[in-house]
Structure 1
Amino acid sequence: MIRLLKRLKPFSLPLIVLLLLAFFQSMADLYLPTLMSDIVNNGISKVNSKGVVSPDVPYIWQTGGKMILVTGISMICAILVSFFASRITMGLTRNIRKELFTRIESYSMNEFDKIGTSSLITRTTNDITQIQNVVIMMLRMLITAPMMSIGGLILALQKDRKLTLVLAVAIPFLAIVIAVMGAIVVPFFKTMQKKVDKINLVLREGLTGIRVIRAFDRQEIEKERFEKANKDYTDLAIKANKIMAGLMPIMMFVMNLTSISIIWFGSKRIDAGSMQVGDMMAFTQYAMQIMISVLMVAVMFVLIPRAQASAVRINEVLDMKAEIEDPKNPEKSDEGKKGYIEFKNVSFSYPGAEEKALSGISFSAKPGETTAIIGGTGSGKSTLINLIPRFYEADGGEILVDGKEIKRMTQNELRTKIGFVPQKATLFSGDITSNIKFGSDNASVEDIRHAAEIAQATEFISNMKEGFDSEIAEGGSNVSGGQKQRLSIARALVKRPEIYIFDDSFSALDFKTDAKLRAALSKETKESTVIIVAQRVSTIMNADRIIVLDEGKVVGIGTHRELLNNCDVYHEIVASQLSEEEMA
């Protein structure tokens, strides 16, 4: 928590102003009981020359005017304290949220897998909200509370030292109660945030997989899953709040008992002539101010444990060292080898896996050529191409792009050279134009239309009511799989990169559209390196080079005809898709 609060440094000037305002507010609030005491002692209880109590009206008006003025100052200071506290807190949480999101964006896929998407969402939203709630309370209460309690104690001692013994019993008792309850409830709050992660996970799976859930008629089971996760969180929250709920009654009991004690012992001292009525009233007010300050601290103790748990979770994300980092002294790529890719004995294994996903991978791809990758399910095709843009880091060997090892290049420079179309087509909320323009901010209207035409997307776009301005729902849920793939391809084309990577990006297309798209692509990508991962043999038959993978190893490299004669794995794949006549 302290580490996150250090990020208040940019707000030093507003904090100083807030501290000054809080000081003036506290001084004004502490001065009010003194003025009230003066009115009672010198204005209302004044005895004239005849021994009769005669109120001093001018004095009462004069002192009452001062009270109104002081109250006004206190009110203005309180409003400004709330304003500055809100501004500082919102600025702090905005910066933390930005820092957290930026940090998450720098993670490799391995870090995403370690923490989990649902937990990252919780940490960026709910956990930061917990920090926000505590910080704003701290700025509004925790600064004022010590000033009020210390000032109140000093003034109470000035009024009557012996009567202060009542506070010497009440305040330590409250402090012990708060400390004990805080120690009991902290573990509950830590667990509660993990329960929120679980709710997010179940909810996210339920929403993203709604079609599958309905198709298999699993709605009731999913409801039960969510209800269980929700009940776990609810039961724990109720248990924690039951413990904390006991704090307020104890506080009120002690405060009321303190007031009764002050009046009881104060009346005896008034009777003995050791104290005036106004002083006792002022002392009661000071005692209440001290107790309210302790109550503020108690409220903070309710919030701090949960915020502390959230702070630990946020720091865990900020402290996690990214597996893939840019080199300190990056090297520029060789302009003479633009678009050139080479794998040299590359191996890779997923964290915790017993066997390597890839081993001994060596091949090269040149500009103006199409390199295809094919293999059975789980052979490592997608894993291989995910190593090129450094989504994962290779365990061994070297991957060269433009003649330079990719670990010696910045991730930004590397990925600028690549137009990547993932296996699972992803679109963003907005319109068709913004989704295609996602590949290049500088793309003109003509560039967008040209890319859509090559991707064979113009026909279905023109049939939509608003054309290129048609809205795309979150995740592209209002377009078909084939349409999503074509828009994803257009997004990569508008970038005009050196290297195109298509990860099984034609699987949702019919054979006619597939053939048209590949014919248009071959003309558009004449000067670029093209890597295609495909399941369909018809998609890659005309590739300049076909790489056949089996169990993470290269078992054949060559053209379609060469591999038919030399590679048994490729022959089996072809035979499973084409007839004897088509193979011939």
Structure 2
Amino acid sequence: MVASVATLALGVYAIFAGTMTIGALIATMMLVWRVLSPLQMGFVTFTRFEQIAASIAQIDNLMSLKPERDPQTPLRPVKRFRRRISFNRVSLLYAANADPALVGVSFQTEPGEVVAVTGANGSGKSTILKLIAGLYPPQAGAIHIDDLDIRQIDPIQLRLSISYVPQVCSSMNQSNSLDFEGDRQFIRTPQAIRVQASVFLVTHRPSHMKIADKLLVFETGSLQAAGPATEVLARLLPELL
């Protein structure tokens, strides 16, 4: 485009100077377009080659991922989970140059319990849920569900037994905010499903902690307090607020 404009400008100047005719300018422009068109197509094709190479690299990275089902690890089919969950000195590090997400965390929950998980941002609350769902294997320690190591459970079967509600959703009156009425609905939900499921609730609200059977308080990847929610709240409520 720049070469065509420059050629046209110089041609017009030459015409006014009397050194070039209009026909010569038209012929020159046709010649320039014939030369530049293949070059332009070449640059466009080169850009597409870069996009294709990036797509191939992404596919290679995807295909090189290790399968979740390790063929060397014997898996035990589970007909139905009784929902007893225990962490035994579990540690997890997301990256080699990052701080540990969890360090030596141990606790146990019983079937049908509502467990509130609280703590500051980045303290490891969401990591607990990811480990229970089998999204990450513990790098140290062990996680047991019904006295069975989570690494011996088929990850697909495990996730089919788990329901997950993200932090931002619009399932309550098409709103992401928990006003007074929305909070009342939210509080009723764990109580309604606890007969058939164990509930892990990541929250900062004391109103949610009060409906829990057990409260886990995290700080910088460590479990600072764990026990019956009423007892933990009695000790730590001012600090949590």
TM-score by length of 1: 0.31
Structure 1 residue aligned with 2:75: 330
Conservation of the 8 A alpha-carbon contact between 1:327 and 1:408: no
- Aligned partner (choices 238, 245, 255) of residue 39 of structure 2: 245
Matches within 5 A, 1:90-169: none
Higher relative contact order (CA 8 A, sep 6+): 2
Structure 1 residue aligned with 2:239: 572
Query: Within the alignment, does 1:380 sit opposite 2:124 as a pair?
Result: yes
Matches within 5 A, 1:13-92: none
* Cα distance between partner residues in 2 of 1:480 and 1:520: 16
* Cα distance between partner residues in 2 of 1:307 and 1:511: 50
What's the CA shift string for 1:271-298, capped at 9, x where partnerless? Answer: xxxxxxxxxxxxxxxxxxxxxxxxxxxx
Conservation of the 8 A alpha-carbon contact between 2:92 and 2:102: yes
Structure 2 residue aligned with 1:540: 209
Residues 1:243 and 1:392: Cα distance change in structure 2 (over 3 Å) = farther
Deviating 4+ runs (over 3 angstroms): 301-308, 564-567
Superposition deviation, residue 571 in structure 1: 3.7
Matches within 5 A, 1:433-452: none
Conservation of the 8 A alpha-carbon contact between 1:327 and 1:409: no
Matched residue type, 2:219: D
Question: Could you say which structure has the larger radius of gyration?
Answer: 1
Superposition deviation, residue 327 in structure 1: 3.0
The gaps in structure 2 that reach 5 residues or longer are 1-35
* Cα distance between partner residues in 2 of 1:550 and 1:302: 51
What's the CA shift string for 1:439-490, capped at 9, x where partnerless? Answer: xxxxxxxxxxxxxxxx7x5xx4xxxxxxxxxxxxxxxxxx432xxxxxxxxx
Structure 1 residue aligned with 2:178: 509
Query: Within the alignment, does 1:404 sit opposite 2:99 as a pair?
Result: no
Residues 1:545 and 1:312: Cα distance change in structure 2 (over 3 Å) = same
* Cα distance between partner residues in 1 of 2:75 and 2:135: 18
Query: Within the alignment, does 1:355 sit opposite 2:99 as a pair?
Result: yes
Conservation of the 8 A alpha-carbon contact between 2:114 and 2:194: no
Query: Within the alignment, does 1:369 sit opposite 2:38 as a pair?
Result: no
TM-score by length of 2: 0.71
Matched residue type, 1:327: D
Larger helix share, 1 or 2 = 1
Superposition deviation, residue 357 in structure 1: 1.2
Secondary structure of 1:382's counterpart equals: helix
Residues 1:396 and 1:515: Cα distance change in structure 2 (over 3 Å) = same
* Cα distance between partner residues in 2 of 1:509 and 1:541: 16
Residues 1:308 and 1:511: Cα distance change in structure 2 (over 3 Å) = closer
Paired residues, what number?
202
* Cα distance between partner residues in 1 of 2:93 and 2:52: 36
Matched residue type, 1:332: P
* Cα distance between partner residues in 1 of 2:206 and 2:224: 16
Superposition deviation, residue 530 in structure 1: 1.0
Larger strand share, 1 or 2 = 2
Superposition deviation, residue 399 in structure 1: 1.4
Structure 2 residue aligned with 1:563: 232
Query: Within the alignment, does 1:342 sit opposite 2:97 as a pair?
Result: no
Superposition deviation, residue 315 in structure 1: 4.1
The Cα RMSD (Å) is 3.1
The gaps in structure 1 that reach 5 residues or longer are 1-241, 249-300, 428-454, 461-478, 482-507, 577-584
Percent identical: 27
Matched residue type, 1:367: P
* Cα distance between partner residues in 1 of 2:41 and 2:187: 71
Superposition deviation, residue 319 in structure 1: 3.4
* Cα distance between partner residues in 1 of 2:144 and 2:111: 14
* Cα distance between partner residues in 2 of 1:517 and 1:315: 41
Superposition deviation, residue 552 in structure 1: 0.8
What's the CA shift string for 1:200-220, capped at 9, x where partnerless? Answer: xxxxxxxxxxxxxxxxxxxxx
Structure 2 residue aligned with 1:49: none
